[in-house]
Amino acid sequence: MPRKKITLGFIGAGRVATGLASGFARAGVNVVAIASRRIASAQRLAKRVRGARACAPQEVADRTDIALLTVPDDAIEAVASSLRWRAGSACVHCSGAADLDVLRKAVADGALAGGFHPLHMFGEAGDPGGLAGCAIALAGPDALVQRLARLARALDAKPLRLPEGGRALYHAAANFSGAFVIALIQEAVALWGKLGIAEADALAALLPLLRGTADNVEKLGAAGGLGSAIARGDAGTIRRHLDVLAREAPDSLELYRILSLRTIPLALAKGTLEPAAAKEISALLEKSILKRVD
């Protein structure tokens, strides 16, 4: 007997909902209902998804097998608690950090609670194209996780099941590969700005370096893909970096020092940094912070 085609709905019509709903529609998944605080937002997204209609949040809960909550994290519990849930249906949030206890009202009503978080930065238009190959973090009871895994694979994404209570750590870690990378790029752009290099020109020069770095990590792993003065054991260059940052950009010095200290174990693991050179560089970095404190 063929498997029954599940119906999906969205509560929230922002970038995440737009990316997921568009991706599911392209994959032939049955998205039937979309709700939002602003009906115009729901209507706009529903026009992009064949077979979907804009409606009230309660109708999403009433009409769908799986209701995806794509609202801000701080609103998930309030939204889920404001609705009546059908026994056997599923209430699934798309937060990376929130655990499933925020969906306790749905569980009390007899629904299943789950998590479906795409590890992806959606563009302004919610373009689903980048979902192929990305991880989607899943949570919930086994039967629901199996259904969510099929949905992830329909997007050509990779299901990633997280242990109970692990979502906050997972999400904190993801920031080091996402938002914090952007912060570091901006740090580099700001430092080049002191040389009179415009932001657009700086980005044009730095982004190929970033892409090459990511390619190396993909091919060789974190330690194998490392290339820097620390990886070479070049204490003289590190000293010049510390000196110029202390003079020209003291606010960047502590960040440079912390990241350099975290890079040393990678360079040792790669095998290009000798223990004696690692000790010398560590001493330089520690001395730089002592000077700043003095």
Cα separation, 19 vs 155, in Å, equals 10
Question: What average pLDDT does the structure give for the chain?
Answer: 94
pLDDT on residue 164 = 84
Provide CATH code, domain 7-166: 3.40.50.720
Has residue 274 got a pLDDT over 90? yes
Per-domain boundaries in the chain: 7-166, 176-293
Each residue's pLDDT tens digit, 72-96: 999 999 999 999 999 999 999 999 9
Each residue's pLDDT tens digit, 170-213: 999 999 999 999 999 999 999 999 999 999 999 999 999 999 99
Residue type, 175: N
pLDDT on residue 290 = 52
CB-based contacts of 164-172 (< 8 A; 24+ apart in sequence) = 164/99, 164/100, 164/139, 165/99, 167/95, 167/96, 167/97, 167/98, 167/99, 167/115, 167/117, 167/137, 167/139, 168/97, 168/99, 170/96, 170/137, 171/95, 171/96, 171/97, 171/117, 172/97
Q: In a 3-state reduction of DSSP, which class is residue 286?
A: helix
Cα separation, 249 vs 256, in Å, equals 11
Q: Can you give the pTM of this predicted structure?
A: 0.88
pLDDT on residue 292 = 56
